[in-house]
Amino acid sequence: MDANQEQVIASIDGSVGSLAVCEAAAWVASRLERSLLLLHTIERRPQHGADDWSGTIGLGAQSELLERMAQLDQERGKLALQYGKTLLGEAESRVKAQGIEDVQSLLRHGDFVEALVELEHQARLMVVGKVGTDHAGEFTALGSHIESLIRQVHTSILITGAQFSPPKSFMLAYDGRDTAERSLERIIKGGLLRGLPCHLVMVGQDDGHKDKLEAANQRLLQEGYEVIPHLVEGSVTEALLDYQQAQDVGLMIMGAFSHSKVRHLFLGSNTIRMIQSSQKPLIVLR
């Protein structure tokens, strides 16, 4: 296998959550025995020299101001490049301190979603933080970028908050539909969660739900997983989050889409609300 195939790719930006991204990425790379690629993107800013301010101020003053602004743009670009290199160097040192030796760094200009889409062909799993430098402590402003990434890639994504601790158990949000069945198979075949107790949680209480939950339970048991199946009542997001908090489950797993009547709204509601509200890391399976 090529060294650049099936990598764990972690996007870092220097925000408060970047340390958690590094720790989560190191944990994933270690368990999957994969190389790790650390990515930092420098967002492009409009260059003032390209603006047309003809007639707005005198030619002499305009020329002088534009030249000065162009110099500031150039200096800003140099500082951003230096900062990116320093950030990647520190991140590489952190993951190596956690025992990950096969580490690469990549500095790119542009949007981080575009960069991850371009790199998807070599990714086994992507790790991103749910808040960025411009929105520290605030998810809603970054939510559209997370949603855009989930929609555009077909690689599973681990989303972290401000902190990360290696989970001692995980929870599969299971609804019995085709996407949930595929998620079940991804967990079984993936290897990342092997050896961790699985809380298999389904929202609903009718006999149909119970039958599907039991079938999924038996499937996991046959593969050697320790399973705690549970049916909960209530709205999807609140019921799952309440269970996770009550049982202190360290990691939630869920699919990105639901084949329900509102499937076109599911990502914007349940999945994004779950990412926004959860205090623990979450893997969105694609």
The first and second tokens of residue 134, run together, are: 């411009």
8 Å CB contact between 249 and 221: no
What is 170-285's CATH topology?
Rossmann fold (3.40.50)
Percent of the chain with pLDDT over 70: 81
* pLDDT at residue 147, rounded to an integer: 80
pTM score of the predicted model = 0.84
Please say if the pLDDT value at position 13 is more than 50. yes
Give the whole-angstrom CA distance, residue 48 versus residue 52. 9
Please say if the pLDDT value at position 191 is more than 70. yes
Give the whole-angstrom CA distance, residue 158 versus residue 286. 11
Angle (CA) 131-196-31 rounded to 5° is 65
The first and second tokens of residue 184, run together, are: 């079940």
**Interval 15-38: pLDDT, tens:** 888 999 999 999 999 999 999 999
Q: Residue 160: enclosing H or E segment and its boundaries?
A: strand 157-160
Give the whole-angstrom CA distance, residue 40 versus residue 10. 9
* pLDDT at residue 27, rounded to an integer: 98
Please, which pLDDT band fits residue 2 given cuts at 50, 70 and 90? Answer: very low
N-terminal to C-terminal alpha carbon distance within the chain: 23
The DSSP output letter for 17 is: T
Residue 38: partners with Cβ closer than 8 Å, 6 or more residues away: 10, 12, 22, 25, 88, 91, 92, 95, 103, 104, 105, 106
Give the whole-angstrom CA distance, residue 17 versus residue 262. 32
What is 7-44+80-160's CATH topology?
Rossmann fold (3.40.50)
8 Å CB contact between 173 and 254: yes
Query: Mean pLDDT, to the nearest integer, of 196-214?
Result: 88
Domain-by-domain residue ranges, the chain? 7-44+80-160, 170-285
**Interval 258-280: pLDDT, tens:** 444 334 334 445 677 788 888 89
Give the whole-angstrom CA distance, residue 119 versus residue 91. 19
The DSSP bridge partners found for residue 199 are 171, 228
8 Å CB contact between 20 and 51: no
8 Å CB contact between 196 and 167: yes
Side-chain-side CA neighbours of residue 118 (13 Å): 11
Give the whole-angstrom CA distance, residue 49 versus residue 271. 42
Q: SS3 of 35, please? A: coil
**Interval 161-180: pLDDT, tens:** 889 999 999 999 988 877 77
Percent of the chain with pLDDT over 90: 50
Which amino acid is present at 12? I
